[in-house]
Amino acid sequence: MTAARRDVAIVAFAQTDHARRTDDLSEVEMLMPVLHDVLRQAGLRASDIGFTCSGSSDYLAGRAFSFTMALDGVGAWPPITESHVETDGAWALYEAWVKLLTGEADTALVYAYGKSSPGSVRDVLTRQLDPYYVAPLWPDSVALAALQARALIDAGDTDERALAAVAARSRRDAAANPHAQLPGARPQGDHVVAPLRTGDCPPVGDGAAAVILAAGDRARALCPRPAWITGMDHRVEAHSLGVRDLTDSPSTRLAARRAGAFDPDAARPVDTAELHAPFTSQEVVLRKALRLGADVRVNPSGGALAANPVMAAGLIRLGEAAARIHRGASDRALAHATSGPCLQQNLVAVLEGDHR
Amino acid sequence: MTAAPETLRAPFVVEFPFTRSLGPVQSAFLTGLRERVLLGVRTETGRVLVPPVEYDPETAAELRDLVELAPTGTVTTWAWNPEPRRGQPLTTPFAWVLVRPDGADTALLHALDAPGPESVRTGMRVRIRWAAERQGAITDIACFEPYGNADAGEEGGAAAGTGARPHDGVFDQPVTGIVTPARLDYTYTPGRAQTAWLHDLAERRTVGERCPSCAKVYVPPRGACPTCGVATTERVEVGPRGTVTTFCIVNIKAKNLDIEVPYVYAHIALDGAGLALHGRIGGIPYDQVRMGLRVEPVWTEGGRYPDHYRPSGEPDADYGTYKELL
């Protein structure tokens, strides 16, 4: 075995007020206040940061190399150590976590942003699919989620009423989240692609988020109650939907096991789970894969059903879970992020606060 | 305080014809569709994958053992699409379906032409409707259509693996590549700083923004100082004259650009600006343009930005006045 692993924690989290449109803001103009907020919370300046990593996709707003423009908001001079992932910022956080574990940095700034408003995100997301057999059919993101929802209903795992209850609970909880785009329960509406109704789908919108990671004593100095990352892992499944069992998520389960979510020796049980389930039906799959019981508070923030800034929504799950630990509302939380159609790729982190 | 200028917006289309080469299994599968033959591939454990892939998704083993399947199958899940979108297989409401072809162990994504959601169910029997014109693409399957009246359970659709016959994958004139057009439509909005810049420019004023931290004036402004990571807010009119800091001579005519070559493309530091912008230099032979040349903008009638810059007639600028802007 290797030497004892460094302790790394999320010490600060900030996000925008997510909105349907932000026509008056460029991406960097939307992102910059969030970067300033998260640095202020940690009492750091940009020059104090050891590693910077971001997640975004140029396809969302149709702006080539937009992540280089976004760096304008960081203050990247003198040259900083920086990286970018073309996926959800949760994977940027994973890269930063590994960087801190190696000892090459003591602090990291992780951010993500997505402006879905300039384009049609249902169609944009078709471009991530198999280009030979699937993308030429332009199956949009709601259609693929609806195929998964139907499979779940056929399997007896859920029904439209249960899905509506997930939608209602999420948006009711979002009423207490000042950043949510859809605060408060609302009608389920018509079928978008049956069996999914408007209420089963995430809102389309723009937003950004940022977290700061710190190692060891640095974390303790920056945050009264750091959210220690006791484990994190991500796993991917086959890209062909017809090969997968859409009613299950073995990649989530494996990532969770490797992250220690099922550790029978854990002193404290998981009390909170922030799940990145953009569609109501996906929460059903994730609850099953993660074996979450009724004693676990799921998505107290309202989750992606209340605000789904694509590329940032997964990072926000980690941030929301950490923020609950920071303020003492959770002792051991599980955070999940997803990417790809029908929960193709999944990341799970376990976060813990020090004993009070 | 003045009111924020009206948000600018413009349609923006990103469009590519992606050209992709095919591996041996993909080539056989798509050529087969052209010939109205449905192929799958058998894995080492005997499973038949449709659509076929070159490598086993579980073991990564190379797969080459092709099999031919009947054009019939069973719906494993479906979703009713009341409003078809651009590029989708059918223009009238249809069901998205995963179909397990008879003899296969996995399912293929496609569309099912059905009169309404009440006529679709998991387990229903369907068959391929071939496109009238086929070229070797997944769209050679126009869609699936209902087939017979019984569900798979009642009629006993062929069990996995049993309906698959070996196939050598050899066809005349195999398809070795596909071209898939991709188009995404956006509405571009430039944000606060660039909106203000464009509004002023249309009135022939060049207005940058100063960084409150390092005092550099950005022209054009993008809303943030990339050195300090803070918002630029103080608006500063610069120019209109400036200095050529460096330049190049363009010898290749760009497509759809009505400018004779050779011409000079230059970095121009407008007076008062903290960095150079680029523009074309005209009104002077290309081989007489030099560093330090003083220039001024030339506007065309109704133009929203300078067409090019020309010599202003002033003496050349001393190197020391622009060396920091190179």
For residue A303, the tally of other CB atoms under 10 A from its CB is 32
Task: Show the beta-strand stretches assigned E in B189-322.
Answer: 206-210, 217-218, 224-225, 230-231, 234-238, 242-250, 263-270, 277-281, 294-298, 308-311
Q: Boundaries of CATH 2.40.50 in chain B?
A: 239-326
Closest CA to B87 of B34, B138, B161: B138
pLDDT of B235 > 60? The answer is yes
- Cβ contacts of A254 on chain B, cutoff 8 Å: none
Helix axes A250-259, A280-290, angle to 10 degrees: 50
Q: Mean pLDDT, to the nearest integer, of B52-77?
A: 95
Q: Under an 8 A CB cutoff, do B79 and A137 touch? A: no
Quote the CA–CA distance of B179 and B20 in Å, as a whole number. 6
For the ranges A5-9, B78-82, B257-261, the maximum mean pLDDT occurs at: B78-82
- Model pLDDT for residues B94-114, shown as the tens digit of each residue: 999 999 999 999 999 999 999
Q: Under an 8 A CB cutoff, do A62 and B191 touch? A: no
The phi and psi torsions of A162 (rounded to 5 degrees) equal: -65, -35
Architecture of domain B239-326: Beta Barrel (2.40)
Confidence of residue B159 (pLDDT cuts 50, 70, 90): low
Using the Cβ of A74 and the Cβ atoms of chain B, whether some distance falls under 8 Å is answered with yes
pLDDT of A41 > 60? The answer is yes
Using the Cβ of B202 and the Cβ atoms of chain A, whether some distance falls under 8 Å is answered with no
- Cβ contacts of A133 on chain B, cutoff 8 Å: 51, 108-109, 138
- Cβ contacts of B191 on chain A, cutoff 8 Å: 24-29
Residue B68's DSSP bridge partners are B39, B165
- Give the residue carrying structure tokens 């050679």: B140
pLDDT cut 90: percent of chain B above it: 86
DSSP H or E segment with residue A255? helix A250-259
ipTM for the predicted complex comes to 0.95
Inter-CA distances, B263 with A281, A294, B249, B267, Å:
60, 72, 6, 14
pLDDT of A329 > 80? The answer is yes
**Contact present, B74 and B107 (Cβ < 8 Å):** no
Confidence of residue A356 (pLDDT cuts 50, 70, 90): confident
Give the helix, strand, coil percentages of chain B, each rounded to 5. 15, 40, 50
Query: Which domains, and CATH codes, for chain A?
Result: 8-120+205-222 (3.40.47.10), 129-201+225-352 (3.40.47.10)
Position B162 scores a pLDDT of: 62
Q: Mean pLDDT, to the nearest integer, of A292-299?
A: 95
